[in-house]
Structure 1
Amino acid sequence: MSAINAEPLRRDIEHRARADARHDLIFRLLLRLCALLVLATLLGAALSTLWGGRDVLFKDGFHFLFSSDWNPVEDQYGALAPIVGTLVTSLIALVLAVPVSFGIALFLTEIAPSWMRGPVATAIELLAGIPSIIYGMWGLFVFVPFMASIEPWMNDTLGNIPLIGQLFQGPPLGLGLLTAGVVLAVMILPFISSVMREVFQTVPARLKESSYALGSTKWEVVWDIVLPYTRSAVIGGIFLGLGRALGETMAVTFVLGNSYNITSSLLMPGTSISSSIANEFNEAVGLHRSALIALGFLLFVVTFIVLLIARLMLRQLARREGR
């Protein structure tokens, strides 16, 4: 009798096991489809820009990459000036934003009183939600006049320093690479500081308390405990902000000056890949449009290289930590 009663139970268990295996397979296939959809979308966008810019890329080749000439009237196009402008403004933004973001994150996690942490963190997150065109308008109407007023001082003082003096020589226009870099720094600062704050909060309290008990100062705790524990995530947050800066369009367009001349001065106007596309795409036809689409493909390539470097750095750090 017991064997007869056990048979339906055994069948029910086997049926549930098969159903669970089938549901698990469906779940894995759905997740894999989502991942492949992202890759297909990215690959499709890259291939479409490559195909759209084929007239310039396949015709001029390396000349398009390393030439600074940009003359739509004579159908002469070079991507060097937009590439240099994109990299320079993003580098300036990173140099300015990373130390400030690091200080904000440390203040909120290690120094600020509890009643202050919530409002300040909320304000930083609200900065990340401001549209880029608002930053561009603020940069054009507020920050550009301010830069124009202090650039003569920068020219007279910093411009006389050997080696780096030529970076700060130029007319007080207000528009230029330095202005665009500062506006980008303000834009990416909320992203980097938010990531840093979140990862700093993941450090176990017992590690910091143990270090304090051994007589360490707050700086020593941060340098020897917090940073090593969160190094990989901090670098990831920095490169996330860099990716945001590389692709920014409207804020840079307002304050960059949109000049295709490559100069050694950060005070002079320049251009970037995204701002060139935004300014000229509506009126572009023929080879001109192909050149702008090719710039879009180059932006894909530059961003991919930056993210690849980030992944290699994180992998190297992971190997060192594993040792």
Structure 2
Amino acid sequence: MADRGFQWLMFLCGLSIFAIVALIAFELVLRSDLAWKNFGFQFFFRADVDPSTHKPWYWDPVNGHFSALPFVYGTLVTSFMALLISVPLAIGVAVFLTEMCPKALRTALAFLTELLAAIPSVIYGLWAVFVLVPLLRQYVNPLLIRSLGWTGMFGDDNPTGLGYFASAVILAIMILPIISSLTREVMIAVPHSQREAVLALGATRWEMIRTGVLRNARIGIVGAVILGLGRALGETMAVTMVIGNTPEISKSVLANGTSMAAVIANEYAEAVTDLHRSALTEIGLALFIVTIIVNALARFLVWMVTRGAPARVQ
């Protein structure tokens, strides 16, 4: 009798996870119903035109203009820029820890790398405001403007240092331990026989890592990158503190912008109309669905390499 009761208790604990996710989805769908009826899917793509200036009119709750296009744009730009910065560094860290690091340093370096994932996002945001943004404003941004300003992607239109680029840098730091840890896990899962076979054919150490390890772990590495993307898409506080929070679309990555998570954090408490709250909830629903899909895909790709096997200590 006690065993049967314990079995049912554990079964209910497992079902509670599905119930929580279902309740969150139900509430988001219910609260965003008004926006869906008024805008539909065009909410994420359309933009009204201001009759006085003939410029796009994206987000103006006072006058009842709602378009999530600048938030979707800001989320995608900052997330993919963060991947461009963090992926090479994260893979390099994983390769060093797995294949090249002395055993005496491996545990300490792995611990410090994973410790970055435990730091609260608001602490990252404060560090970015007081340290990163001044560095970008004084040194990095002027260099980018001088060398790459001709592309139009690094225009000199934001002297504050805030903007897409600052958000991308802080996001890159935040997702680096996630990508690095999972990449290390899938690299460890590659059998040692693969390494030995490549070395036996006369390959150098780098050729062994490139062809015997990275090539066999590439699906899992892609999964780790996608999982990092999922974290970047949903990050709120750190991005909110440095992105500038301007509902506009700019070609320059140094310009102010905003993201889907940032606009919810900034405006939901102050929303006074039902349509405004419903529009913000619709943004949250879209972010919720995208995050679930991205994380599920990433976990599946990592599982394809590891097959659920625990990481081996080398």
Normalised by the size of structure 1, how large is the TM-score?
0.83
Shift of 1:81: 0.9
Moved more, 222-231 or 182-191: 222-231
SS in 1 for 2:152: helix
Code of the residue aligned with 1:278 in structure 2: it is A
Shift of 1:195: 1.3
Change (3 A) 1:202 1:305: closer
Q: Distance in 1 between matches of 2:297 and 2:33?
A: 27
1:145 is the counterpart of 2:128: no
Code of the residue aligned with 1:259 in structure 2: it is T
> 1:69-218 counterparts in 2 under 5 A?
69-149=58-138, 150-160=140-150, 165-171=151-157, 172-218=159-205
Shift of 1:305: 4.2
Task: Looking at secondary structure, tell me which structure has more helix per residue.
Answer: 1
Moved more, 305-314 or 34-43: 305-314
Shift of 1:167: 1.2
Code of the residue aligned with 1:85 in structure 2: it is G
Q: Distance in 1 between matches of 2:300 and 2:186?
A: 20
1:300 is the counterpart of 2:288: yes
In structure 1, the partner of 2:53 is: none
Structure 1 residue ranges without an equivalent (≥5): 1-18, 319-323
Shift of 1:277: 0.8
- Percentage of identical aligned residues: 44
Question: RMSD of aligned C-alpha atoms?
Answer: 2.5
Once the two structures are superposed, residues 197-253 of structure 1 have per-residue CA deviations (whole angstroms, 9 ceiling, x without a partner) of 122222222321232122111222122211233233222222221111111100000
1:45 is the counterpart of 2:31: no
Q: Distance in 1 between matches of 2:195 and 2:280?
A: 52
Shift of 1:55: 1.3
Aligned match for 1:66, one of 40, 45, 55: 45
Confirm or deny: 8 A CA contact 1:258 1:276 kept in the other structure.
Answer: yes
Q: Distance in 1 between matches of 2:248 and 2:104?
A: 50
Shift of 1:188: 0.5
Confirm or deny: 8 A CA contact 1:67 1:77 kept in the other structure.
Answer: no
**Count of residues in Structure 1 that have an aligned counterpart in Structure 2:** 293
SS in 1 for 2:217: helix
SS in 1 for 2:153: helix
Normalised by the size of structure 2, how large is the TM-score?
0.85
Shift of 1:317: 9.1
Q: Distance in 2 between matches of 1:316 and 1:130?
A: 29
Once the two structures are superposed, residues 151-200 of structure 1 have per-residue CA deviations (whole angstroms, 9 ceiling, x without a partner) of 2221121112xxxx121113233111111011000000011111111222
> 1:1-20 counterparts in 2 under 5 A?
none
Confirm or deny: 8 A CA contact 1:178 1:266 kept in the other structure.
Answer: yes
Change (3 A) 1:264 1:58: same
Shift of 1:103: 0.2
Code of the residue aligned with 1:58 in structure 2: it is K
In structure 1, the partner of 2:51 is: none
Moved more, 69-78 or 149-158: 149-158
Aligned match for 2:258, one of 251, 264, 271: 271
Q: Distance in 1 between matches of 2:88 and 2:5?
A: 47
Shift of 1:313: 6.5
Code of the residue aligned with 2:143 in structure 1: it is W
Confirm or deny: 8 A CA contact 2:226 2:297 kept in the other structure.
Answer: no
Once the two structures are superposed, residues 84-129 of structure 1 have per-residue CA deviations (whole angstroms, 9 ceiling, x without a partner) of 1111111111111111110000011111111111111111111111
SS in 2 for 1:121: helix
Task: Name the larger-Rg structure.
Answer: 1
Q: Distance in 1 between matches of 2:116 and 2:295?
A: 24
Confirm or deny: 8 A CA contact 2:189 2:305 kept in the other structure.
Answer: no
Change (3 A) 1:63 1:253: same
Q: Distance in 2 between matches of 1:38 and 1:278?
A: 25
